[in-house]
Amino acid sequence: MSKTVEKNIAAALDDAERRGACCAPEDRLMREAMRSRKNAIVEPVRGLFFRSDAWESLEPPEKTLHLMRALAPAHPTWRFCGASAAVAYGLPVTWSLLSNVFVATPSGASYRSCPGIVRRHLSDDAAQVRDGLPLVPFWRTVFDCLAAFEAPDALAIADAALQASGMSPHGLTELLGKEFRGHRGVRRAIEVATLADARAESGGESIARAVMRQLGFALPELQVWIEDPVEPGKWFRVDFLWLTEDSRLIIGELDGRQKTERPELMGGRDALRVMQDERLRESHLTALHPAIIRFPYEVARDQNRLGPLLEHYGVPHGANTWPTAAPEIVTRSSRLDYAAGPLRVIRAQARI
């Protein structure tokens, strides 16, 4: 391969990386030249190229966005939909659902799906542009995901949609019933929406909650602040909290990379300090004599693993039944309603 061709390929790939998009060369000879470098260049969708090592370093949502940014200029009549649009809107999509790019094509168009691209025909031609990408409108995207995804993956979308919009679960169910009446899957979407909770901090927490419900366990309180029993005035936040009928306190913690990688969850700390603080927090919480359940994402979405774990720690089944004498803790949560007794509730205080 000539030095000129090598130089042109390198320049095209460099430009693509700067733009956060795959390279989509219009010249046939350039495409063939890139295909000939199979060890160095990957072609995730026909006609779209990227350096192999750089591609492998991207997580699936980033890969999806790279593909979308390359496809959009070449297909101005397309609108991205489904899981692809959800990624562009910043919603948490389970990675296994991102093996294809989903596009809505104009009514009457004869486009067909091909490897890596799934085309759908939608009667509504409305579009919403986000970061330069033409997308199916936000609530249509949410509906499509809730109607099509398995319940755990759908609940992650519903929870995040509430966070992004400020809408209540009741408002979401009303919107779905009104705007998508008669659409296939609307009942399924509404059922998921009734469980939505904006307090979920990650898609993994939403998935865990959905699996808990599928298994018949009582749903926990989410993101509850508990005052440090060792150093009063300090507060810890736990992912899940149950108070059992016999006054036991059960705390659930979802372990995941996000807690040591997402800046908004790290509070300016490095990963080592985050882990040290987690250990200190847990040691202080033991003064309350709780059962503390820690589990990773892989367990959270596996009924055969999460079920026995929750059973072992005594997580109750069915609806929550509040104890007559709650354990001695101070907590912040507008959803915990023990006005009397040892459990003192500070209502509706800002989270810190």
Domain that holds residue 89: 62-193
pLDDT given for residue 326 in this prediction: 53
Residue 234 placed within a domain: yes
pLDDT for 251 equals 94
175 and 274 in one domain?
no
Q: For residue 145, tell me if it sits in a domain.
A: yes
pLDDT of residue 320: 64
Report DSSP state, residue 315: P
CA 327 to chain centre: 33
- Examine the domain organization and report whether 149 and 258 are in the same domain: no
What is the model's pLDDT at position 282? Answer: 85
- The first and second tokens of residue 123, run together, are 């009667």
144 occurs within a structural domain: yes
Residue 259 forms part of a structural domain: yes
Q: Which of 162, 193, 224 lies at the terminal end of a domain, its last residue?
A: 193
Q: Do 169 and 278 reside in the same domain of the chain?
A: no
Beta bridge partners of 60: none
Same domain, yes or no: 85 and 145: yes
Of the residues 161, 193, 225, the one at which a domain ends: 193
State the pLDDT at residue 352: 28
**For position 345, what pLDDT does the model report?**
36
Are 146 and 179 in a shared domain?
yes
Beta-carbon contacts of residue 92 (< 8 Å; ≥ 6 apart): 156, 157, 160, 202, 203, 206
> Residues in the chain with pLDDT < 70?
1, 107-112, 256-272, 274, 320-352
The pLDDT, as a whole number, for residue 2 is: 77
Number of other CB atoms surrounding residue 150 within 10 Å: 14
Q: Are 70 and 184 members of one domain?
A: yes
pLDDT the model gives residue 271:
65
Helix (H) or strand (E) holding 278, with range, is helix 271-285
Query: CA nearest 199: which of 92, 72, 333, 79?
Result: 333
119 and 185 both lie in a single domain: yes
pLDDT of 193-214, one tens digit each?
A: 999 999 999 999 999 999 999 9
pLDDT at site 235: 84
Q: Which of 159, 193, 227 is the last residue of a domain?
A: 193
Output the pLDDT for position 245.
Answer: 84
* Residue 174: inside a domain: yes
Note whether residue 199 is domain-resident: no
Residue 186's H or E segment, with its range, is helix 186-193
Q: Is residue 177 part of a domain?
A: yes
Residue 243 located in a structural domain:
yes
Strand order in the sheet with 344-346: 291-296, 249-255, 235-243, 221-227, 330-332, 344-346
**Do residue 179 and residue 227 come from a single domain?**
no
Number of domains in the chain: 3
> Which residue has tokens 């009514």?
107
Domain match, 263 and 293 both: yes
Q: Are residues 21 and 102 in the same domain?
A: no
Does pTM top 0.75 for this prediction? Answer: yes
Q: Are 221 and 114 members of one domain?
A: no
Do 68 and 30 belong to one domain?
A: no
User: Count of residues for the chain?
Assistant: 352
pLDDT of residue 101: 98
